């Protein structure tokens, strides 16, 4: 049941603090140590991994891109992220020291399942991150890390995405802690911070009114661009996908630094551009780079909405609108910055009278290749 909400999607967005809390529960100690029991893969197997390949489709693949930043930083293991349907057609290099991480809410997406089968044939170790218990992808993997978001009914993923990002971070922190990380203290500190993230997601949801007002302002938009840098880049891709899926508006996500290499030609008077701004306090260098991208957009008449940290006193000088989210460590920020983008897409769809639970042409899980 929708529990009195206008749609399953609204209900599921509001369940995000709980989805993340359950995914974390019992997996992070109060000291910040991460334990992943019952994965079905031995620690000795994880200890010999020298490469990680993430395979997934759609929203799940953007979560996978966030895993790359975390695993490479904390574990110093090279990570590739591939769309599952591209993966086996490029003759990827896989062996027994490759960990393939297959991310799927349903656990039934055929493209992802075929990638899992291919990886196992090649002798790789496959860990799936699935939300549905007993799914095909989970059964056919060597091990499974469940996200505990609960059933997701709306076709476009919201709470399962945040739970996937959480699981990806848990995996990265776990590998870093038991393999030994040069950033050991950081991994414990971030794990402790992750325990507090559900409350910050709640605070972000509590600010929905402001985002809905923005959605109403942009009701007539025919194109919206999303840009981000570092983990803000996959968040931008997810924001654009949500807007396409729910509101049928042309949207594209770009890496902020890539804009000047082509897409900036799209910017003209009034073009809405949503910018995911990195934390000023945690990464002033990245922040400065994104500020200069905002200035490039503004100079060409673009209309900039920044999603930025509460404490960011600089961004308001440049952006037309600021949506503030609570401050967090850079790698945790996607768990917060994604939320206003989901609310924005759902709000715009509602403005247009569209069915957010069952968008046209889409299915919850695509079981054909």
> What are the tokens at 284?
């002033």
> What are the tokens at 180?
């030994």
340-81-128-198 Cα dihedral, nearest 10 degrees: -20
CB atoms within 10 A of CB 216: 12
367 is a contact residue toward ligand BG6 (CB under 6 A): no
**Length of the chain (residues):** 369
Stretch that binds ligand BG6, among 90-98, 154-162, 315-323, 330-338 (CB under 6 A): 154-162
Question: Measured from the CB of residue 92, what is the shortest distance to ligand BG6 in angstroms?
Answer: 19
Per-position x/- string for 19-58, each x denoting binding to ligand BG6 as judged by CB under 6 A, each - no binding: --------------------------------------xx
166 is a contact residue toward ligand BG6 (CB under 6 A): no
Measured distance CA(314)–CA(295) in Å, rounded: 12
Question: Measured from the CB of residue 363, what is the shortest distance to ligand BG6 in angstroms?
Answer: 6
Measured distance CA(192)–CA(217) in Å, rounded: 38
135 is a contact residue toward ligand BG6 (CB under 6 A): no
**52, 242, 79, 69: which is closest to 161 by C-alpha?**
242
Measured distance CA(13)–CA(342) in Å, rounded: 8
Question: Measured from the CB of residue 223, what is the shortest distance to ligand BG6 in angstroms?
Answer: 21
Judged on CB neighbours under 10 Å (0-12, 13-18, 19+), 44 is: exposed
Coil, strand or helix at 321: strand
# of chain residues touching ligand BG6 (CB under 6 A): 15
Per-position x/- string for 232-271, each x denoting binding to ligand BG6 as judged by CB under 6 A, each - no binding: ----------------------------------------
112 is a contact residue toward ligand BG6 (CB under 6 A): yes
149 is a contact residue toward ligand BG6 (CB under 6 A): no
Question: Measured from the CB of residue 226, what is the shortest distance to ligand BG6 in angstroms?
Answer: 17
Which position has the token pair 């170790």? 125
Measured distance CA(125)–CA(43) in Å, rounded: 12
Question: Measured from the CB of residue 59, what is the shortest distance to ligand BG6 in angstroms?
Answer: 3
- Looking at 155, 215, 275, 306, which residue binds ligand BG6 (CB under 6 A)? 155
Q: What are the residues facing 224 on neighbouring strands? A: 251
Per-position x/- string for 267-306, each x denoting binding to ligand BG6 as judged by CB under 6 A, each - no binding: ----------------------------------------
Measured distance CA(148)–CA(133) in Å, rounded: 9
365 is a contact residue toward ligand BG6 (CB under 6 A): yes
Site residues (CB under 6 A) for ligand BG6? 57-60, 104-106, 109, 112, 155-157, 362, 365-366
């Amino acid at each position: 049941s929708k529990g009195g909400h206008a749609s399953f999607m609204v209900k599921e967005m509001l369940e995000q603090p709980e989805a993340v809390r359950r995914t974390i529960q019992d997996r992070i100690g109060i000291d910040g140590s991460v334990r992943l029991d019952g994965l079905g893969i031995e620690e000795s197997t994880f200890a010999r991994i020298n490469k990680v390949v993430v395979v997934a489709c759609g929203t799940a693949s953007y979560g996978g891109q966030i895993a790359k930043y975390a695993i490479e930083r904390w574990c110093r293991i090279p990570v590739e992220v591939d769309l599952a349907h591209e993966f086996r057609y490029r003759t990827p290099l896989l062996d027994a020291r490759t960990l393939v991480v297959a991310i799927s809410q349903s656990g039934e997406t055929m493209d992802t399942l075929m990638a899992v089968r291919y990886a196992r044939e090649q002798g790789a170790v496959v860990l799936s991150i699935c939300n549905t218990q007993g799914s095909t992808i989970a059964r056919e993997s060597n091990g499974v890390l469940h996200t505990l978001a609960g059933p997701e009914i709306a076709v476009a993923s919201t709470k399962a995405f945040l739970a996937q990002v959480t699981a990806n971070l848990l995996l990265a922190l776990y590998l870093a802690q038991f393999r030994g990380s040069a950033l050991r203290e950081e991994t414990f500190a971030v794990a402790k911070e992750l325990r507090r993230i559900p409350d910050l997601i709640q605070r972000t949801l509590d600010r929905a009114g402001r985002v809905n007002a923005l959605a109403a302002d942009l009701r007539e938009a025919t194109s919206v661009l999303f840009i981000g840098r570092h983990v803000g880049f996959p968040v931008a891709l997810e924001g654009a996908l949500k807007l396409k899926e729910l509101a049928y508006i042309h949207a594209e996500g770009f890496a902020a630094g890539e804009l000047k290499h082509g897409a900036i030609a799209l910017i003209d008077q009034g073009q809405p551009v949503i910018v995911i701004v990195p934390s000023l306090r945690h990464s002033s260098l990245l922040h400065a780079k994104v500020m200069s991208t905002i200035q490039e957009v503004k100079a060409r008449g673009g209309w900039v909405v920044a999603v930025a940290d509460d404490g960011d006193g600089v961004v308001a000088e440049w952006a037309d609108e600021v949506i503030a989210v609570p401050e967090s460590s850079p790698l945790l920020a996607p768990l917060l910055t994604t939320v206003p983008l989901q609310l924005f897409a759902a709000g715009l769809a509602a403005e247009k009278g569209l069915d957010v639970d069952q968008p046209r042409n889409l299915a919850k899980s695509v079981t054909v290749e």
